[in-house]
Structure 1
Amino acid sequence: MGNLQIIPFEERENWDAVVRSFARFDVYYLSGYVSAFRFAKDGAPFLLYYRGEGMRLCYVVQQRDIAESPAYSGILERGRCFDWSTPYGYGGPLTEGFSERGIGDFFALLSDYCRSNRIVSQFIRFHPLLENYRVFEGKCELYNIRHTVYMNTKDKAVIDANLESRCRGAIHKAMKNHVQIENSRSEEAQKTFIRMYYETMQRRSAADYYYFSEEFFDDFFAKLADCYRIFYAVLNEEIICSAIIMYCNGSMHYHLSAARKEYFALSPNSLLLYTAACWGAENGCSKFHLGGGVGAQDSLFLFKRSFHKKGLADFYIGRNIFCEEVYRELLKLRAASDPGFCPDNDRLIQYRA
């Protein structure tokens, strides 16, 4: 039997050493990435690390006290039960070696730990570029919810060859209108991004969750300083759109973005992503993950797909229920206190609908 270690966030040096020991590690697994999400009230971060039975694996979870959810305020005592979810973005297992016996051993240890520590369920956002949902097939309820898009950034010639004509036209339009792209990690670039980001969230009537606090951004910029740059479009000495681009171990990610609506017609974001992709090619990144849309085939997805029509990767989510009786009890408690709640809803973790 192998060994399952639960590494707390406070052991950041050990955490990152474990993550970096896996050949295909990415930015989402580093303590510096998850650190900021402590300010989003997503729970206490832990790194799960399994060794044994011919394989190793690790992934990040955030642990929440279910009683702290507004839906259970006053009807569930604190410290009674918890759940796990992978942080915002992408996660799931990093692996070295694989065996059916090893994955069975891991889930046996994981289930025992969760039942002993009142962890009711876990929700996993798998990493599209790693296709790591395959590791948990047969051990986790898996759902393919949409395509995401990535660009091949091997070199500029490949980037150019994969652009659709409408995307190429949008890039040229921005250039023709004298839009210029710069990148920086300066304090001025950070402050401008934050201000524009809040304006963008307000214009989109975004959910409260996405109004990340200034403490969130300050922590992100400080803890992940070697893994991001802010790319921004400038017109007449004014920043008109901006994006946080993360990079790590040969991969880039389009993380958060902001833009001024009055300049949409100039297509500054097309030029920004193209320029970021070219920067990635020059700096050792082979793939630039743009993510997906809000829906399966919405305008945002189609915009991203115009950068590489064949660059599609499946985004899977999954769940495990470790304490079936407590899971059902939570659904009953919620239904009894909220007449509008439907226990048989389409959310993966139904008691959090």
Structure 2
Amino acid sequence: MGTEGMQALTQAQAVAHYEAMDLRARPATLHPGYVAADASRDPRLLPTYLLYQAQGQRWLHSLHLTAIPGTDLKDASSPYGYGGPLSTSDDARFLAQAWQACSQWMVQQRVVVDYVRFHPVLGNERWYGGSASDNREVVVMDLQGADFALAYPPRLKQTLKKAQRAGLVYRETALAPHARSFGAYYRSAMADIEADPFFLFGDAYFELLAATGLATLGACQRAGDADGPWLAASVFLQGRGLREYHLAATTAQGREVGASSFLLHEAALAARALGVPRLYLGGGSNPRPDNSLLFFKSSYSGRRLLYRTGSSVFRAADYDELKRRFAADWSAHPERPIFYRKV
């Protein structure tokens, strides 16, 4: 398995270790290739892969390092979506050793603080040595067994019938041939709803995401109009044992015929046909239990999981100095471990 102890890996090395980890689920959002592609969102993000090995076990942590403006310090954070470590062992002693080695590496590299978004399907906060806190409920669909559509509420069934009457059809393809087209489609939809510019990912993001081989494009159009406009489109990420609903968009015309609802139902059917046991839908746009996006996703499944986040301060004195340096940001966002930039 290689050298014991903590080491920083190249992306290729990290991918090899990731794919060798025998875990029930390996979400694509924790794949080192995804971490590298996601770094294209911001030139300040440096993909970093840490591996701890001992007694034949692996602990792998893929994250972004970022230089803190005006200092010689750094912070660490998960990619967009989810992150946190993967481990082949739940042994408390092994995990404590891995975290100690990670913390020492962070101190040596002048990393002050980290912020981690754990994956709810894995519950991988158990492999992390910092603090963890509840954030919000999320939705996952179990695709095996009985027909999941039988449990849909009447309003969703009616919406799907409306889409079918409108002649919608669903198709899946690799993202690569359509990366730029989807990027433009997604940005247009985000602009229409006046989304934060943080979410206006550039073409490079979608091209690099497509190059990982992890991304599938799902889109719906009207029957007989294969060259017509997408009424709804989404990027799904495929990892071991799990498909993830990643980014999605629709149009005013699509909303009129329930295109987003139709797309998600058909994507679940397509995943089941491929033998994928779960479709992860995620949660709302905020932690409120009455969030409209959470309400939409909950129509597809009553199964909820808990999404948690974590953080650790590795250099306490430097962290206190950051609070003084960025006093206005600290005052505005004391709940954010990385309070001086959007993560």
TM-score calculated relative to the size of structure 2: 0.90
Deviates more, 1:324-333 or 1:246-255: 246-255
1:111 and 1:214 mapped to 2: Cα distance?
A: 35
1:38, distance to aligned residue in structure 2 (A):
2.4
1:230 and 1:254 mapped to 2: Cα distance?
A: 10
Contact persistence 1:53–1:101 (CA under 8 A): no
The letter of the residue matching 1:254 is Y
Equivalent residue number for residue 59 of structure 1: 61
Unpaired stretches in structure 2, ≥5 consecutive residues: none
Deviates more, 1:293-302 or 1:182-191: 182-191
Q: Once the two structures are superposed, what CA deviation does each residue of 1:25-47 show, in whole Å capped at 9, x if it has no partner?
A: 22123232122222211511111
1:352 and 1:213 mapped to 2: Cα distance?
A: 19
SS of 1:232's equivalent? strand
Map 1:193-204 to 2 at 5 A: 193-204=182-193
Unpaired stretches in structure 1, ≥5 consecutive residues: 68-75
Q: Once the two structures are superposed, what CA deviation does each residue of 1:295-335 show, in whole Å capped at 9, x if it has no partner?
A: 232010010011001x2111100001000000000110112
Equivalent residue number for residue 279 of structure 2: 288
Equivalent residue number for residue 196 of structure 2: 207
The letter of the residue matching 2:336 is R
2:321 and 2:131 mapped to 1: Cα distance?
A: 20
1:49 and 1:131 mapped to 2: Cα distance?
A: 19
SS of 1:182's equivalent? strand
The answer to whether structure 1 residue 91 and structure 2 residue 83 are counterparts is yes
Contact persistence 1:164–1:308 (CA under 8 A): no
Equivalent residue number for residue 27 of structure 1: 28
SS of 1:350's equivalent? coil
2:151 and 2:56 mapped to 1: Cα distance?
A: 40
Map 1:97-176 to 2 at 5 A: 97-136=89-128, 139-154=129-144, 157-176=146-165
Contact persistence 1:243–1:257 (CA under 8 A): yes
SS of 1:347's equivalent? coil
Contact persistence 2:144–2:277 (CA under 8 A): yes
SS of 1:57's equivalent? strand
Equivalent residue number for residue 212 of structure 2: 224
CA RMSD of aligned residues (A): 2.1
User: How many residue pairs get matched?
Assistant: 331
The answer to whether structure 1 residue 277 and structure 2 residue 268 are counterparts is yes
The answer to whether structure 1 residue 241 and structure 2 residue 232 are counterparts is yes
Deviates more, 1:247-256 or 1:101-110: 101-110
2:188 and 2:53 mapped to 1: Cα distance?
A: 46
Deviates more, 1:104-113 or 1:184-193: 184-193
1:344 and 1:85 mapped to 2: Cα distance?
A: 17
Contact persistence 1:240–1:259 (CA under 8 A): yes
1:190, distance to aligned residue in structure 2 (A):
3.3
The letter of the residue matching 1:306 is S
Q: Percent identity?
A: 23
1:344, distance to aligned residue in structure 2 (A):
6.8
Equivalent residue number for residue 49 of structure 2: 47
